[in-house]
Amino acid sequence: MRVLDTGLDGVVIIEPQVHGDERGFFQESWKASSSGAHGLPTTFAQANISRSANGVLRGLHYQYRQPQGKLVSVLEGRIFDVAVDIRPGSQSFGLWAGVELSAANHRQLYVPEGFAHGFIVLSDSALFHYHCTTEYSPQYEVAIAWNDPDIAVKWPCKPLSVSAKDSEAPFLRDVPEHLLPPGCV
């Protein structure tokens, strides 16, 4: 596997080795020893799959207690996936990285703990898969506005559907520090 830097500390694009021929393909989607060799998690606490329709935007989500690192990939379709550094004291606080993930390009994105995460679906629909370093704790989940002008994510298209929770999310500058994940020292 190749691991590509995004410019944000810990956020990396993973290009797994894909073996294919006219019959189809084989790919290791995750392996503890390979992951550990690149400084990535060697264990996960939870795995999830979601499907979303074209133009659905989800995020920017995070947990302020029990923050989750996420290894994300797309099994069907295409998305634009985004990570935003929200660690107080981080030199890259408020900066974002984004990448297109698709079933065709097999890329994965690792979003470390302390980052908000979101995506928009670019294809008719997308089947999204992600491993999490800690279990989901809804009581600690927070959203930041996907269209926060200070973060200024360059989404590749205008969303067609955003949940009420995500539409009402505050800008990062309006989130009290105690609702942010642990900071950098």
Q: How far is CA 115 from CA 2, 43, 83, 89, 181, in A?
A: 22, 19, 6, 13, 8
Q: Are strands 12-15 and 115-121 parallel, antiparallel or unpaired?
A: unpaired
In the set 110, 117, 130, 131, the catalytic residue is 130
DSSP state of 117: E
In the set 61, 106, 117, 131, the catalytic residue is 61
Is it true that the peptide bond before 109 is cis, omega within 30 degrees of 0? no
> CA-based angle 103:4:116, to the nearest 5?
75
Report the run of H or E that residue 13 belongs to, with start and end: strand 12-15
Q: Has 130 been annotated as catalytic?
A: yes
What is the rounded CA–CA span in Å between residue 97 and residue 11?
8
Q: Report, as residue numbers or ranges, the catalytic residues.
A: 61, 130
